[in-house]
Amino acid sequence: MGKKFLADLRFPEGKNVRGGKTKQSMEVPKGITTEANYINHTFTTGETGNTLTVRHKFTGEILARLPLGGTAEMETAIRGAEQAFEIMRHWSAGQRSEKLAALRNAFDVRKEEFISLITAEAGKPIAYATNEVKRCLVTLDTAVRETLRITGEMVPIDFDNGQGKTAFTQRFPIGPIAAISPFNFPLNLALHKIAPALATGCSVVLKPAPQAPLAALAFAPLLQAAGYPEGALNVLVCDVPVAQNLVTDERMKMLSFTGSPQVGWYLKNLAGRKKVTLELGGNAAVVIDATANLDKAAQNIAIGAFLYAGQICISTQRIYVDQAVYDAFREKLIVATEKLISGDPFDPNVINGPVIDKTHLRRIALWVREALDQGAELLTGGKVLDEAGNIYAPTLLTNTHPDMKVVSEEIFGPVAILEKVADFDEALHHVNASGYGLQAGVFTNRVDQMKKAHNTLEVGAVLINNIPGFRMDNMPYGGVKASGLGREGVRYAMEDMTEERLLVY
C-alpha cells in the first residue's frame, strides 16, 4: 500500500436529523498517514494481505483502508518496545518531563486536525471531540508535572535491629506496556496509557479500536519529532489472535485495557503474571432525592444520558427519583430530552450523534423493543431517526424491571430508564443491585444523604449534584465489581507502571 494521506479526502455534506443541511467544510487532517502499522518510527504496509476499512460514522464514506498487521509485525513491535525501554529507563525525571513537554507542544500545533479526525472516525459530536482534544492536552500536561513528583517513601526502621540504619524506597519503571484502547475516546483514553508510561520511562505497544484507529496512528509519529527513540510507542492495527500475542507475551510487563467487561476479564485470564488494569463498562445510575434542584438535575442528566449517543462508560443509564418529586422531575427530564438535537456530528449544535455501527444500532433497537414487549413504558424516543446515519432517538423508559437488558446490562446507546422510589434508601439499594460499579451521581442538598451515599454505594466514585459522567484526567478513575480493576488517572497509572525497590544502609 503506497502512502495515503487523509488530506486527500474531504467530508461530504451531511444532514441534520432535526432538519436542514449542515455544511461540512472541514477537511481531513493534512499530513497524517493512514498506513498501518506504526512500528519503530516507520509506517508499514502489513503482512497479512487483509485490510480494515475505517468509515465516517455518519456519512459512511471510506476514510481509510488499513493493512492489518500480523504476528511478525507484532514481534517486531515488541522487540522495538524492549529496545526503547532500555534507553528510556535510564532517563532522568527531568529528561522524561522535557520529552513529554515537547510531545505536548507538537500535539498542540495539530489539535484542530485531531478534532476533525475524531469527529469523523468516531462519530463524536464536534463540540465533544473538541473537549476530548482539550483533555488530551490536560493529560499530557499532567504527565509533564507528575514525572517530576513521583517518588518513593522513607521507611522508619531506626529501632531494634534497624537502629542506626536508613531505609527508603525508589520507584523504577517495570518495562514495556501492552495497551488496548476503545473507540469512544480514541485518543485521550489511549493517552491515559501512553502518557503515564512515558512519564515513568516505559515504552508502549498500543492496539487501538478497529472502529476508530486513525487518531492513534496520527499521534504516534509525534513522538519522533519530540525526540523519543524508535519503539517508544508502536501502534498496531490487527485482528484478535494477533492482539492476544500482545497480551500473553511475557516481555510485556503490564496490560492496560479499556473496553467491554466481557473482553477485559477474558484478557485478564490470558495475561499470566503481568500487572493488569481494566477500565470496563457500567450502567451508571443517578439518585434524585426530595431536596434536589430538579431543573439542574434534569438538564445535566439529559446531557449525561444522551451525549455522544450514550457511548460513554459513565453515561447515565439508570435514574431513581424520590416519589415526592418524581412527577415533576419526569416532565422536566422529558422536555430537556426532547430539546436535544440529533444528527451530523460536525454540526456544533448536535448532542446525540451516530451510534458507532449498524450492529450496535440494531442491538439498541432490539433491547428497547424487548423492554417494551415485557411491559416497560416509553416516555420519549424509542425509534431509529436515521438508519443511514446510524442515529437512534434519545429514549426514556419507565416501569422497567431489574432483569431487563436496558436495566441490568450496559446499553452503550442513547437509552435511559427512569423509576420512582419510596425513599433515599431504596434508591441506593437499586444502584447497588447492579453487577457494575463505576461511578454514580447523587442529587441532594442534605449533607447526611451525601455521607450515606458515599458510605453505601458500591462504586469507584460518587458525584454529588452531578452526573456520573464527570471525570477529570488527574483524578483516580475506575470501578469495582464487573466494572474493572485498578485505577487510571496519570499519577495512579504511573504507580502501577513502576515498582518500588527498597534500599537499606
Q: Which of 279, 410, 419, 488 is catalytic?
A: 279
Respond yes or no: is residue 279 known to be catalytic. Answer: yes
Active-site pick, 136, 202, 238, 313:
313
Start-end ranges of CATH 3.40.605.10 in the chain?
6-280+484-504
- Alpha-helix runs per DSSP H in 39-110: 71-88, 93-109
- Of 458, 369, 460, which Cα lies nearest the Cα of 411? 369
Active site (annotated) includes residue 313: yes
What pTM value is reported for the model?
Answer: 0.92
C-alpha–C-alpha distance, residues 164 and 178, integer Å: 43
481: left (phi over 0), alpha (psi -120 to 50) or beta: left
- C-alpha cell of 301? 442528566
Rounded Cα gap, residues 109 and 105, in angstroms:
6
Q: Where in the chain is the domain with CATH 3.40.309.10?
A: 285-474
- How open is the CA angle 133-137-142, to the nearest 5 degrees? 140
Q: Is the torsion defined by CA of 264, 269, 272, 274 positive or negative? A: positive
What CATH number does domain 6-280+484-504 carry, 3.30.43.10, 3.40.605.10, 3.10.450.50, 3.40.190.10? 3.40.605.10
pLDDT tens, position by position, for the chain (505 residues)?
A: 333 333 333 333 333 443 333 334 344 444 444 567 999 999 988 777 889 999 999 999 999 999 999 999 999 999 999 999 999 999 999 999 999 999 999 999 999 999 999 999 999 999 999 999 999 999 999 999 999 999 999 999 999 999 999 999 999 999 999 999 999 999 999 999 999 999 999 999 999 999 999 999 999 999 999 999 999 999 999 999 999 999 999 999 999 999 999 999 999 999 999 999 999 999 999 999 999 999 999 999 999 999 999 999 999 999 999 999 999 999 999 999 999 999 999 999 999 999 999 999 999 999 999 999 999 999 999 999 999 999 999 999 999 999 999 999 999 999 999 999 999 999 999 999 999 999 999 999 999 999 999 999 999 999 999 999 999 999 999 999 999 999 999 999 999 999 999 999 9
Look at the domain 285-474 and name its fold: Aldehyde Dehydrogenase; Chain A, domain 2 (3.40.309)
